[in-house]
Structure 1
Amino acid sequence: MQDSAPAFRLILLRHARSGWALPGQRDFDRTLDETGYAEAELIAQSAADHGISPDLILCSTAMRCRQTAEPFRRTLGEDIDIRYVDQLYAGPAGVYTDLVEAHADQSSLMLIGHNPMIEDVFRHFLGEQQSASALANGYPPAGLAVIDFPAHSAVGRISAAALSKLLLPEPGEVARR
């Protein structure tokens, strides 16, 4: 845990659990299931309890991501800046890292998106060893990682990062690791 505020804080949130697509329903329109709604509420409250409040939230336009973002609006306040980005739905991890680089002038940024892209971004900024040690079984639905960067580096490159918090949904509660 850091003593001073990071130069940049990246918060990665994978959407909460969703149901399977219904016959004729597009993947894009899949909604959270009952467990997913509970996870989204719990992770938003846990983030607020830990003082995690991003300057900007970039969220996939897919229904399950928008539903995961909504508890953050209620918990952190109606004035939270949430922007919906189509490219976070189907774009590769490179789209996610490009968005991080483009918004590194903020003090904090949250991305709400999908796997495998969220996990790929997690590994990209933390490296394989730190990533594997933190999430040996992969990036779970409604998992929230707070990655702190001690300094900004040259344009287009963010400096080395450290995992500062990892909030994971657990049955009946959200556990802090």
Structure 2
Amino acid sequence: MTAASLPLQRIFLLRHAQAAWPAPGESDFDRALDDRGRAEASVIAGLIAGKGYLADRVVCSAARRCRETAETVCRAFGRDFPIRIVNELYHGVTDSYLAVIDAETDAATLMIVGHNPTIEELLETLVGSDTAWAVMPGGYPTAGFCVIERNLACETGWALSDFLTP
């Protein structure tokens, strides 16, 4: 990924809120948010909307917990957003997430709703390990949200400008 290849100016990374353990016979993919997760999603949605972090496009893992988190955040803006579901984000590696970013050629601001450890690794890739670990010394929390801005003065071409947690 090169700076010249992307029109993106801002990327939002959102890790899904806390999910319940799978019920007997339920797959990991189908895990829903639990009570704490619904509360986390609601709080982070309010913070995101309160700061006006509106995305041109929302790309989300197909896993239920990610979809529920994305839907909560989109509702906080009081209007419907198309959420593009991308199967490759479920169990995807950093390169899968970077490919999604590269494919978004007509969005200035992109929100990705996904999973750890890949969201954490993607943040490190985009802004550097030192910057990433300075804001998340204990790892990327559930419902954690970061704002990454295009900054060609930075070695990676991106700079972290905000990190929110519920």
**Common topology (TM > 0.5):** yes
- Map of 1:25 onto structure 2: 26
Deviation of residue 7 (structure 1)?
5.8
Equivalent residue for 2:4?
none
Structure 1 residue 161 corresponds to structure 2 residue 124: no
Shift of the 159–103 alpha-carbon distance from structure 1 to 2, 3 Å rule, reads: farther
In the alignment, is residue 86 of structure 1 matched against residue 87 of structure 2?
yes
Residue 159 of structure 1, CA deviation: 5.4
RMSD: 1.8
Q: Distance in 2 between matches of 1:76 and 1:111?
A: 16
Distance 1:32 1:116 in 2: 18
| Whole-Å separation in 1 of the counterparts to 2:71 and 2:8 | 27
Question: 1:21 is matched by which residue type in structure 2?
Answer: P
Q: Which residue of 2 aligns with 1:175?
A: none
Amino acid at match of 2:160: L
Where do residues 134-153 of structure 1 align in structure 2 (5 Å cutoff)? Answer: 134-150=135-151
Q: 1:1-177 residue pairs with structure 2 within 5 A?
A: 8-103=9-104, 105-150=106-151, 160-169=157-166
Amino acid at match of 1:95: S
- The one-letter code of the counterpart of 1:47 is I
Q: Contact 1:54/1:110 (CA < 8 Å) preserved in 2?
A: yes
Unaligned runs of at least 5 residues, structure 2:
1-6
Deviations 1:14-47 (A, max 9, x none): 0000111111110000111100001101111110
Partner in structure 1 of residue 3 of structure 2: none
Q: Name the CA distance, whole Å, in 1 between partners of 2:130 and 2:106.
A: 27
**Cα distance, 1:104–1:148 mapped onto 2, change above 3 Å:** farther
The number of aligned residues is 158
The CA distance in 2 between the partners of 1:95 and 1:65, in whole Å, is 16
**Secondary structure of residue in 1 paired with 2:89:** helix
Using the aligned pairs only, state the percent identity: 42
Q: Specify the code of the residue in structure 2 equivalent to 1:46.
A: L
CA distance in structure 2 between the aligned counterparts of 1:105 and 1:66, rounded to whole angstroms: 22
The 2-side partners of 1:81 and 1:63 are apart by: 16
Corresponding letter in the other structure for 2:120: E
Unpaired runs of at least 5, structure 1: 1-5, 152-157, 170-177
Tell me the alpha carbon deviations over residues 89-124 of structure 1, each in whole angstroms, 9 at most, x when there is no partner.
122111001111222542100000000110010000
CA deviations on 1:116-167 (whole Å, 9 max, x unpaired) are 110010000011111111111100000000000135xxxxxx9511111111
Alpha-carbon separation, structure 2, partners of 1:68 and 1:7: 23
